[in-house]
Amino acid sequence: METAYVKTPIGTAEIKGDKNGVASITVFDEEKTDHHILPEVLEDAVYQLKEYFEGTRKQFDLKLNPEGTNFQKKVWNALLQIPYGKTISYLDLSKRLGDVKAIRAVAAANGQNPLWIVVPCHRVIGSNGDLTGYAGGLHRKKWLLQHESPVKQQSLF
C-alpha cells in the first residue's frame, strides 16, 4: 500500500492505495509529510484532490478500492450519487437504499467511510438541516459544504 500527502485548507490529506485503487483518504490537523517521491499509483488522486480544493473539480474520476462490508459499500456507492453542492438527510439516504428502518446502520456506515471528500459523506445532514456527525469533525464538514455551495459569500469591503 502506497501513501501520499496533500496539504489542503482543512488539514493534511493522507491518501493510501495501490494498483487496485484508492483505499482511503483521511485528513489530519497536524502536518504530515512524506519525503519520498509521489507514488505513481496515487498521482491522479493527488491531482484531483488539489483541483477539488481549488474549486475546479466537482466530480472525482478515480478507481476506488475501500475495505468494508457489502452493506457499507452499498451505502458508500449511494453517497457517490449525491451531487456536488447538494445535501440529503440520513433518512433520505435510508429511503434511497430501500429501508427507512436501517437509518442507524446507514448512519454508522456513512461514518465509517474511508474515502473522505471523494465519497461525499459530508453531504449527509440531519433531517432538521443540522450538521450532524462527521468523522473529520463538524468544522471540516461545514467547510466542505460551504466550499461546494453554489452561493459564495461576497465580501462587502
Phi, psi of 12 (to 5 degrees): -90, 120
Q: Where in the sequence numbering do the catalytic residues fall?
A: 121
96-124 pLDDT tens trace? 999 999 999 999 999 999 999 999 999 99
Average pLDDT over residues 74-83: 97
| Per-residue pLDDT at 151 | 67
Taking the CB of residue 66, how many other CB atoms lie within 10 A of it? 19
DSSP letter at 91 equals H
Angle at CA of residue 24, ends 41 and 87, nearest 5°: 120
* In the predicted structure, residue 155 carries a pLDDT above the cut 60: no
| Sequence-distant (≥ 6) Cβ neighbours of residue 2 within 8 angstroms | 16, 17, 18, 39, 41, 42
Please report, for the chain, the start and end positions of each structural domain, with discontinuous segments joined by +.
Answer: 2-54, 70-148
The CATH number that domain 2-54 falls under is 3.30.160
| Per-residue pLDDT at 37 | 80
What is the residue-averaged pLDDT of the chain? 91
| Per-residue pLDDT at 130 | 81
| Sequence-distant (≥ 6) Cβ neighbours of residue 87 within 8 angstroms | 123, 124, 125, 145
Flag the least confident range among 9-18, 27-36, 62-71: 27-36
* In the predicted structure, residue 53 carries a pLDDT above the cut 60: yes
Flag the least confident range among 33-47, 67-81, 101-115: 33-47
Maximum average pLDDT range among 27-41, 47-61, 143-157: 47-61
| Sequence-distant (≥ 6) Cβ neighbours of residue 156 within 8 angstroms | none
Confidence of residue 64 (pLDDT cuts 50, 70, 90): very high
Average pLDDT over residues 142-156: 79
Question: What is the architecture, at CATH level 2, of domain 70-148?
Answer: Orthogonal Bundle (1.10)
| Per-residue pLDDT at 33 | 64
| Per-residue pLDDT at 129 | 81
